[in-house]
Amino acid sequence: MPSFSEILSKPTVFADRNVLSPHYVPETLPFREKEIERIMVWLSPALKNERPRNIFIYGKTGTGKTCSVKHVLSKLSQHKSSAFSCYINCRMYNSRYRVIQKITKDLLPSLDSMGFGLAMLYEKMMHSVDFGDAQAGAESGGQAGKRLIVVLDEVDMVKDLDDLLYTLTRCNDELKRGSVSLIGISNKLSFKDQLGQRSKSSLCENEMVFAPYTANQLQSIIAQRAQIGFKPGVVEESAINLAAAITGQDVGDARYALKLLMKAGEIADEKGLSKITDKEVDEARRSVDRDVVFEAISTLPDHQQLVLLAVANLALDKGKNTRLAEAGEEDAQLLISGEVYEEYSKMCRRYRKPRRSARWYREYLNDLEMLGLITTIESGAGMRGRTRLIRIGYPASDVKKIVEKNFQIIESP
For residues 86 and 186, state if they share a domain: yes
* Per-residue model confidence (pLDDT) at position 331: 52
* Mean pLDDT calculated for residue range 7-14: 88
Q: Is residue 241 part of a domain?
A: yes
What span, in angstroms and rounded, lies between the C-alpha atoms of 13 and 4? 18
What span, in angstroms and rounded, lies between the C-alpha atoms of 277 and 239? 5
CB–CB of 36/71 below 8 Å? yes
What span, in angstroms and rounded, lies between the C-alpha atoms of 243 and 223? 10
For residues 169 and 316, state if they share a domain: no
CB–CB of 228/42 below 8 Å? no
Q: Is residue 3 part of a domain?
A: no
Split at pLDDT 50, 70, 90, the class of 232 is: very high
Split at pLDDT 50, 70, 90, the class of 265 is: very high
Q: Which of 305, 225, 300 is nearest to 29 (CA)?
A: 225
Task: Of 112-121, 220-229, 250-259, give the range with the top mean pLDDT.
Answer: 220-229
* Per-residue model confidence (pLDDT) at position 221: 93
What span, in angstroms and rounded, lies between the C-alpha atoms of 133 and 210? 37
* Per-residue model confidence (pLDDT) at position 204: 62
Split at pLDDT 50, 70, 90, the class of 7 is: confident
Q: Which of 110, 97, 70 is nearest to 86 (CA)?
A: 70
For residues 73 and 197, state if they share a domain: yes
Amino acid at 16: D
Tell the burial category of 241 from Cβ atoms under 10 Å away from its Cβ (0-12, 13-18, 19+).
middle
What span, in angstroms and rounded, lies between the C-alpha atoms of 227 and 235? 9
Which strands make up the sheet holding 388-392, listed edge to edge? Answer: 335-336, 388-392, 374-378
What span, in angstroms and rounded, lies between the C-alpha atoms of 278 and 247? 14
Q: Is residue 163 part of a domain?
A: yes
Q: Is residue 19 part of a domain?
A: no
Q: Is residue 184 part of a domain?
A: yes
Q: Is the pLDDT assigned to residue 140 strictly greater than 80?
A: no
For residues 182 and 135, state if they share a domain: yes
Partners of residue 177 on adjacent β-strands: none
Q: Is the pLDDT assigned to residue 235 strictly greater than 60?
A: yes
| Cβ density class 253-290: b for 16+ within 10 Å, e for less | bbbbbbbbbbbbbbbbbeeebeebeebbbeebbeebbe
* Mean pLDDT calculated for residue range 362-384: 79
Q: Which of 185, 243, 212, 184 is nearest to 60 (CA)?
A: 212
Under the phi-then-psi rule, with left for phi > 0, alpha for psi from -120 to 50, and beta for the rest, what region is 199?
alpha
Q: Is the pLDDT assigned to residue 41 strictly greater than 70?
A: yes
* Mean pLDDT calculated for residue range 4-24: 89
Q: Is residue 18 part of a domain?
A: no
* Per-residue model confidence (pLDDT) at position 327: 43
Last residue of a domain, one of 161, 187, 210: 210
* Mean pLDDT calculated for residue range 390-409: 86
Split at pLDDT 50, 70, 90, the class of 215 is: confident
Split at pLDDT 50, 70, 90, the class of 413 is: very low
For residues 179 and 51, state if they share a domain: yes
Amino acid at 79: H
What span, in angstroms and rounded, lies between the C-alpha atoms of 322 and 332? 8
Q: Is the pLDDT assigned to residue 52 strictly greater than 90?
A: yes
Question: Which residues, including other chains, have CB under 8 Å from residue 19's CB and lie 6 or more apart?
Answer: 26, 225, 228, 229
For residues 263 and 327, state if they share a domain: no
* Mean pLDDT calculated for residue range 62-72: 94
Kindly report which listed range (15-24, 282-291, 370-379) carries the lowest average pLDDT score: 370-379
For residues 259 and 332, state if they share a domain: no
Split at pLDDT 50, 70, 90, the class of 329 is: very low
For residues 235 and 257, state if they share a domain: yes
Last residue of a domain, one of 210, 240, 271: 210
Last residue of a domain, one of 156, 177, 210: 210
Question: Range of 76's domain?
Answer: 33-210
Cα within 13 Å of Cα(269), Cβ side:
18
* Per-residue model confidence (pLDDT) at position 36: 97
More confident residue, 194 or 61: 61
Could you give the dihedral angle defined by the CA atoms of residues 243, 249, 254 and 255, in that order, rounded to the nearest 10 degrees? -80
For residues 200 and 266, state if they share a domain: no
Q: pLDDT tens digits, residue range 338-368?
A: 999 999 999 999 999 999 999 899 989 988 8
CB–CB of 68/76 below 8 Å? no
More confident residue, 189 or 387: 387
Q: Is residue 25 part of a domain?
A: no
Q: Is residue 15 part of a domain?
A: no
Q: Residue 233: which CATH number?
A: 1.10.8.60
For residues 43 and 102, state if they share a domain: yes
* Per-residue model confidence (pLDDT) at position 141: 44
* Mean pLDDT calculated for residue range 323-331: 45
Split at pLDDT 50, 70, 90, the class of 237 is: very high
* Per-residue model confidence (pLDDT) at position 318: 73
For residues 58 and 187, state if they share a domain: yes
Q: pLDDT tens digits, residue range 70-113?
A: 999 999 999 989 999 999 999 889 999 999 999 999 999 988 76
Give SS3 for 13.
coil
For residues 44 and 188, state if they share a domain: yes
Tell me the backbone φ, ψ of residue 164, rounded to 5 degrees: -65, -50
Under the phi-then-psi rule, with left for phi > 0, alpha for psi from -120 to 50, and beta for the rest, what region is 58?
beta
* Per-residue model confidence (pLDDT) at position 384: 55
* Mean pLDDT calculated for residue range 152-169: 91
Q: Residue 155: which CATH number?
A: 3.40.50.300
Average model confidence (pLDDT) across the chain: 86
Residue 12 CA: distances (Å) to CA of 229, 230, 231, 271? 11, 9, 9, 10
Q: Residue 389: which CATH number?
A: 1.10.10.10
* Mean pLDDT calculated for residue range 273-279: 95
What span, in angstroms and rounded, lies between the C-alpha atoms of 154 and 357? 24
Split into its structural domains, the chain has a count of 3
* Per-residue model confidence (pLDDT) at position 184: 94
Cα within 13 Å of Cα(171), Cβ side:
30
